[in-house]
Amino acid sequence: MAERRLKGLPAAPGTAAGPARVLTAARATAGTVPAADRADELETARNALAAAGAELDLLAGRLRADGRADEAEIVATGALMAADPALEDAVERHTTAGLPAAAAVLEACGEHADAIAAIGDERLAARAEDVRSLGRRAARLAQEPGAAPAALDPRSDPVVLVADDLGPADVAELDDAVVAVALAAGAPTGHAAVVARGLGIPLAVGLGSALLEARAGEQVAVDGDAGTAVLSPSAATLAAARAGHRRLTAERARSAADRGLPAVTLDGRSVRVLVNAATVPELDAGLAAGAEGVGLLRTELAFLDARRWPDEAAHRRLLAPLLARLHGRTATVRVLDFGGDKVPPFLNGTSLRGLALLLAVPDALASQLRAIAAQGAATELRILLPIAERPEDVDSVRAMLAYIAPALRVSIGAMVETVAAVERAGELAQAADFLSIGTNDLAHAATGSDRFAPGSAVTPVHDPRVLTLVARTAEAARAAGVLLEVCGDAASDPVAVPLLVGLGVDELSVGAAQVGRVRAWIRGLDHTAAQRVARAALALPGAAYVEALVAQAGDAAGEGRDGRGSVVPVGPQP
């Protein structure tokens, strides 16, 4: 059978493959319960809710014992929901109307979830699916009182869990035999995704109803970085997914062992490796792997379903648990980067993006700046401005911040993501305290392609046209005496890393799963050699020539002998 590739959204990093374990949704019994039996159905429904709450309490306790307090808190909230009087009243109403216990629980939880989702509070929005998950759990218990979740034999072959959707508790209680999860529905910002990232389980969501056509035992390959699942993968696809899983497992073990080693090149050049994060589990995983702080804290992802600009309280709720973990460390908070492919409903039709959009709504920007100042005072705080093209815009934000928090010590960074920003990089470097290159946007800007167009080809940063823009930005940063960071995908690309370091980048900010790998790469680099390779790459006619140059330099340096060499070779590391 030919492989079927399904495209969804990345939710938790990593790749893995195995036979499908297809989880079917709870289905309530049809029909109307006779009036004489309805009191018994109500009792069954109440007991099922109580049992579901008890299961979640036990699971939360296990997570706490494992040192996973944040995941435990998410799961424990589900237990509190099970005892909500409003939910119990709804269950009673539906059983009194004649619904069987399981159907009454599902209907009541569905109504409760819809009501939460309709409030419009971003903090509560993720709870809606948690309530639905509670309903599925209680419905199962109503149909099979005393039944425990189906477990796999841990000695069995690794499997991929395939389902329509899962709640955070469902993910937290997965067996060791589950190496990845593929969901037809779900969202990258949902609590199930948060728990999956914290537990290191690759997850792709939003894969569509075609995923549910998978047969039990059919091979499935999941790529949580790309957000894809492949049904009946070819031998090559299957081997690549399994190899990726082995690499990730080995890298995590090495990262844990090497987190105390500095990210310094063989000839003494220090390159800070920071983590990109939007959630607590991502942040914790990055710090555990040796990240020296956060180089990009994405604040907009939590508000993509918002119906209005988030207020100061909403920003505080998002930032508090994250910045509390960064006491005394670098915390680079990017202000809302709406626009492009990140447009909440209330901004549909806007042509503005990034800093220009925020400056057009100064009250919204001020609310976020107040929250950042309040929550980040104990950190080495940096505020990052997206799509910054004009030094006067940086000056405007600095003046606003000085008015809001005159005593706050904070660095302001300008993101260089367009050709126009590169052309004024010298002025931006004079206005800002540091520069940060968003390589994903800059790569497309360099070639005139539309990053958000369907089927748009990926432009590699090692294309000489893009490298030239990076080199010009690096020169501007050096001339102004400010540091230069890269926070796009290129910061963890094996071809781009030696080139970026050779061009003078001071910091690389990468996904949590890449922190240990990139730190190891830095320790295997010779900075002087990387400078030579980077200068030579600028003069080449295309990306393929640059790839060959980097590979040749790695071979010449004897890459592979004890993992040390002067440049990082093309391709993933063993």
Catalytic residues: 191, 487
Q: 46's torsion region: left (phi>0), alpha (psi -120 to 50) or beta?
A: alpha
Q: What angle separates helix 464-480 from helix 439-447, to the nearest 10 degrees?
A: 120
Under DSSP, is residue 571 helix (H, G, I), strand (E, B) or coil?
Answer: coil
Neighbours of 332 (CB within 10 A): 29
What is the chain's Cα-based Rg? 25
CA distance 415 to 321: 25
The tokens of 408 are what? 């706050």
- Residue 342 is classified by DSSP as B
CA distance 495 to 572: 10
Are 371 and 315 in contact, with CB atoms under 8 Å apart?
Answer: yes
CA distance 326 to 151: 38
The tokens of 309 are what? 């600009």
Owner of token pair 């893995």:
16
The H-assigned helical ranges of 206-353 are 235-258, 280-288, 312-323
Q: Which residues of 122-142 are buried (b: 16+ CB within 10 A; e: fewer)?
A: beebbbbbbbbbbbbbbbbbb
Are 437 and 485 in contact, with CB atoms under 8 Å apart?
Answer: yes
Complete DSSP assignment for 12-31: E--EEEEEEEE-PPP-PPPS
CA distance 430 to 414: 10
Q: 216's torsion region: left (phi>0), alpha (psi -120 to 50) or beta?
A: beta
CA distance 253 to 262: 17
Strands (DSSP E) along 88-244, which ranges? 159-163, 178-183, 203-205, 219-223, 228-231
The tokens of 349 are what? 């039709």
Residue 30's nearest CA partner among 124, 100, 121 is 100
CA 357 to chain CA centroid, Å, is 24
The tokens of 402 are what? 């000085």
